[in-house]
Amino acid sequence: MSSIQVFPAIDMRGGKCVRLFKGDYAQETVYADSPFEMAKSFAKEGASFIHMVDLDGAKDGERTHAAEVIRVAKELPVKVQIGGGIRSEEDVRFYLENGVHRVIIGSLAIREPELVANFIEEFGAERIVIGLDAKDGMVATHGWLETSNKSAIEVGKYFAKAGAKYFVFTDIATDGTLAGPNIPANVKLAEATNAEIIVSGGISSLVDIQRVKEAAQNSSVAGVIIGKALYAGRFTLPEALKEAE
């Protein structure tokens, strides 16, 4: 059985580590005061890659938590992928030139697809991740506050054709709910794009990780982002890493 990559998640709002319920900014739980200290503990527990999200940036369209992100990228022995508030070439360049390994582009990919296709060409498919956050199969933007008229599959096919290698797919209905991931939707996207799909939203148990791993046997599903389950103590990061091997 092939292994999958585990990405512990750090969602940042107001300088703290938080989790939202189904992306609702009004339903927030604060889990830690310092994103850097949280990243440090994940690194100590064996994480090789950390998924960071600037929730304020996603909503307001600017790099609000850039200092925390760059500190993690530069001071800890982990790779970092960052999403939220990346709305221009300047934002992409800023993060990549300051030690961040990959940037995740969501809203901009819907609003200006040609521009983002150019990013893949300019910065390389290894560095640009397309973030698809879907409500009932349709892509949501601007911190999930708006829903577009584009389906995740449609957008996925466009960017796969443009050379995208990685997609993070979040089913908003499951995010922060511990209700289990939407595996069929991820597999469908994998089949439509043949790109590496990172499953996000709803992971609640080691069994869920096992399910993602099983999906990876017959598709290009390649990784899993874990947030609330770690913070809520459903299992530890070392247990998740072992399960994903």
CA separation for the pair 119, 161 (Å, rounded) = 14
Strands (E), the chain: 5-13, 16-21, 24-32, 49-54, 79-83, 102-105, 128-135, 138-141, 146-151, 166-171, 196-200, 221-226
Q: Which member of 54, 133, 171, 208 is catalytic?
A: 133
Annotated catalytic residue 33: no
CA separation for the pair 51, 29 (Å, rounded) = 18
Could you give the 3-state DSSP secondary structure of residue 15?
coil
Instruction: Extract the tokens encoding 87.
Output: 């709305």
Strand partners, 12: 17, 54
Torsion of CA 228, 53, 173, 166, to 10 degrees: -110
**Contact indicator for 132, 167 with CB cutoff of 8 Å:** yes
**Contact indicator for 195, 220 with CB cutoff of 8 Å:** yes
Annotated catalytic residue 54: no
CA separation for the pair 186, 74 (Å, rounded) = 32
Q: Which member of 11, 54, 56, 208 is catalytic?
A: 11
Instruction: Extract the tokens encoding 75.
Output: 């001071």
Torsion of CA 207, 134, 231, 235, to 10 degrees: 10
Q: Indicate which residues carry an active-site annotation.
A: 11, 133
